[in-house]
Amino acid sequence: MLHLKAEPVANEVYARVTRAAQLVREKTGHSPTLATVLVGEDPASQVYVRKKGEMCHKLGLGHRDYKLLPDVTQDVLFDTVRKLNADPEVDGILVQSPLPKGLDEAAVFDLIDPKKDVDCFSPYNVGLLSQGRGTLLPCTPAGVMEILRHNKIDIAGKRALVVGRSDIVGKPMALLLLHAHATVTVAHSKTRDLAACVAESDIVVAAIGRARFLKGDLPWKKDAVVIDVGINRTPEGKLCGDVAFDEIAPKVAAITPVPGGVGPMTIAMLMVNTVRAAMLRKGISYKEL
């Protein structure tokens, strides 16, 4: 059984990002720049935003760091996004989710210029994605596709199962697999016979957000590839995924661990999108990425 780790995949992606960012600098004198907007003091969000900024610095990308108080009004937050939309030096805008209660997250995401929407949350970019014409792709699902590509896992013609139907992971994951010619099933909390879905699946992507939800007693195919997107905490504070790794690993061909499997790919693909957004806005071909 193969452990599919993110590190070699992320390193390959970072090499591409560095080269593409260099190309943008040579052609325009401008470094691709990400603006992060953090509202409030949620500790996990602070860590995520700090890591995104650190990665920009490491790769030579620009980073603008906006921190707003937890009681900021919707109008002030809207104004911040409008300024970033209009700022020619800013290529990507990321408003960290979740926003504090009382702020309309969907309205804020809808306001972000789709050309700077490095999360791929805007209906415009989701529409392009659904037609297979996406340019800025959703970070976590795109990271999963990179893991599959890097490990030479065939997708065309395979049965793929996505467990979870969130807008951020489950739905776009199903679309990317479909565009890669898999036969895709999406299972969720109302699915009656999950075991029947698992029994016929060659690729299983778990994105339910529940600790160790997929167990070893399900009828796993022995050559199945299992991708665990979940990041949960046990009552003891340990990180664990949506699959019971120790139970399933001996039964399948390949599996991603948590932590160290899919997680690091999300930031890697955010860096890809930041450079892609810069290239799109400057009219530079982005195929190198």
Catalytic positions = 52, 96, 119
Q: CB-wise, 25 or 51, nearer to ligand GUN?
A: 51
Distant-in-sequence, close-in-space partners of 68: CB < 8 Å, separation ≥ 6: 37, 38, 39, 40, 76, 77, 80
Cβ neighbours of 97 (radius 10 Å): 15
Where does this chain touch ligand GUN (CB under 6 A) — which range of 91-99, 170-178, 205-213, 247-255? 91-99
Smallest distance from ligand GUN to CB 267, Å: 9
Q: E strands along 31-128, which residues?
A: 33-39, 62-68, 92-95
Among 164, 169, 167, 160, which residue's Cα sits nearest to residue 197?
Answer: 160
Burial class (CB in 10 A: 0-12, 13-18, 19+), 273: buried
User: What φ, ψ does residue 147 adopt, rounded to 5°?
Assistant: -60, -45
Measured from the CB of residue 103, what is the shortest distance to ligand GUN in angstroms? 13
Q: Which helix (H) or strand (E) holds 205?
A: strand 203-206
Query: How many residues sit in the footprint of ligand GUN (CB under 6 A)?
Result: 8
Neighbours of 276 (CB within 10 A): 24
Piece of 80-88, 89-97, 169-177, 194-202 that binds ligand GUN (CB under 6 A) = 89-97
Q: Is 95 a binder of ligand GUN (CB under 6 A)?
A: yes
Write the single-letter amino acid at 92. Answer: G
Nearer to ligand GUN, 32 or 263 (CB): 263
- Based on the shown chain and the rule CB under 6 A, indicate whether residue 94 belongs to the binding site for ligand GUN: yes
**119, 146, 202, 228: which one binds ligand GUN (CB under 6 A):** 119
Q: CB of residue 95 vs ligand GUN: minimum separation in angstroms?
A: 6
Interface with ligand GUN, residue 97, by CB under 6 A? yes
Span near ligand GUN by CB under 6 A; candidates 4-12, 26-34, 90-98, 143-151:
90-98
For residue 139, the minimal CB distance to ligand GUN (Å) is: 5
232 sits near ligand GUN (criterion: CB under 6 A): no
C-alpha 120 chain-centroid distance: 9
Q: According to the binding rule CB under 6 A, does residue 242 interact with ligand GUN? A: no
| 96 touches ligand GUN by CB under 6 A | yes
Question: Which residue, among 21, 3, 4, has the nearest Cα to 13 in the 3D structure?
Answer: 21
Collapse the DSSP code of 254 into the 3-class scheme (helix H, G, I; strand E, B; otherwise coil) and give the result: strand
- In the bound state, the residue with its beta carbon closest to ligand GUN is 97
Contacts with ligand GUN, residue ranges (CB under 6 A): 48, 94-97, 119, 139, 266
